[in-house]
Amino acid sequence: DGGITQSPKYLFRKEGQNVTLSCEQNLNHDAMYWYRQDPGQGLRLIYYSQIVNDFQKGDIAEGYSVSREKKESFPLTVTSAQKNPTAFYLCASSILAGGINPDTQYFGPGTRLTVL
Amino acid sequence: GNSVTQMEGPVTLSEEAFLTINCTYTATGYPSLFWYVQYPGEGLQLLLKATKADDKGSNKGFEATYRKETTSFHLEKGSVQVSDSAVYFCALSDLRFFSGGYNKLIFGAGTRLAVHP
């Protein structure tokens, strides 16, 4: 079955450490996205990528970094510069303009990050 | 800028009750509108969508109609079940980004629904 996988489901980090969240999709989607979800709030966009080796900052990119070396993979690194990293992180993907349902994003199951 | 406003939760209903979750939006142009559902501890699942005025999206007994005159996309279900308990997010696609291939979704804060037997 096609879909998006995120790992790990739960992640604990000590203050001052960098940590990388995995996101893989086998939907053959070109665009991928990272969102952050805090309790009682909607999702906020961290980074997005249209093609391999290209990515753009979203609304809250400070303290985060990404890479897009493969079409299927879009890992997110939460750096020690992120002041309040404890949150639920969601990865999503979509096709690009010109395809069927280009404006629909499909989400992974999420990773809950807790900073100790 | 573009924004989405949802009714605050939690919404608590008895099984088989009628559900309405209000959603209004502010946007330039003609964005697509979405409802996503999030079950506890999981990611978001697309519930339904509408791409133009007067379109009705429907899925699993849920419906929502794109009302441009009132800038609304209210979610309704005639008879809720315990299994519908979840958080529901209204969202719109920001067309300012769309032309470049990206699709930025603007989300509401979410409305928690709790259905009791």
Which residue is listed with tokens 């009682």?
A40
How near does any CA of chain A get to the CA of B93, in Å?
7
Whether residue A23 is predicted with pLDDT greater than 60 in this model: the reply is yes
CA B56 remoteness from chain centre: 12
Please give the average per-residue pLDDT across A97-112, as a whole number: 79
Residues of B within 8 A of A105 (CB-CB) are 46, 103, 105
Of the candidate ranges A82-86, B18-22, B111-115, the one whose mean pLDDT is the lowest = A82-86
Is A72:A27 a contact under the CB 8 Å cutoff? Answer: no
Q: Is the bond preceding residue B10 a cis peptide, omega within 30 degrees?
A: yes
Q: CA A98, CA B68: separation in Å to the nearest integer?
A: 25
B99 vs B72: which has the higher pLDDT: B72
Is B52:B65 a contact under the CB 8 Å cutoff? Answer: no
According to the model, what pLDDT value does residue B31 have?
A: 87
Q: CA B110, CA B39: separation in Å to the nearest integer?
A: 12
Q: Does B3 touch chain A (CB under 8 A)?
A: no
Q: Is the bond preceding residue A85 a cis peptide, omega within 30 degrees?
A: no
According to the model, what pLDDT value does residue B96 have?
A: 54
Residues B26-71: pLDDT tens digits?
Answer: 988 778 899 999 998 889 999 999 988 999 999 999 999 999 999 9
According to the model, what pLDDT value does residue B30 have?
A: 79
Is B32:B50 a contact under the CB 8 Å cutoff? Answer: yes
Cβ contact B101–A30 (<8 Å): yes
Cβ count within 10 A of residue A47: 22
B101 vs B113: which has the higher pLDDT: B113
Which residue is listed with tokens 């790992």?
A7
CA A4 remoteness from chain centre: 11
Cβ count within 10 A of residue A21: 23
Q: Judged by CB atoms within 8 Å, which residues 66-105 of B form the interface with A?
A: 89, 91, 93, 98-105
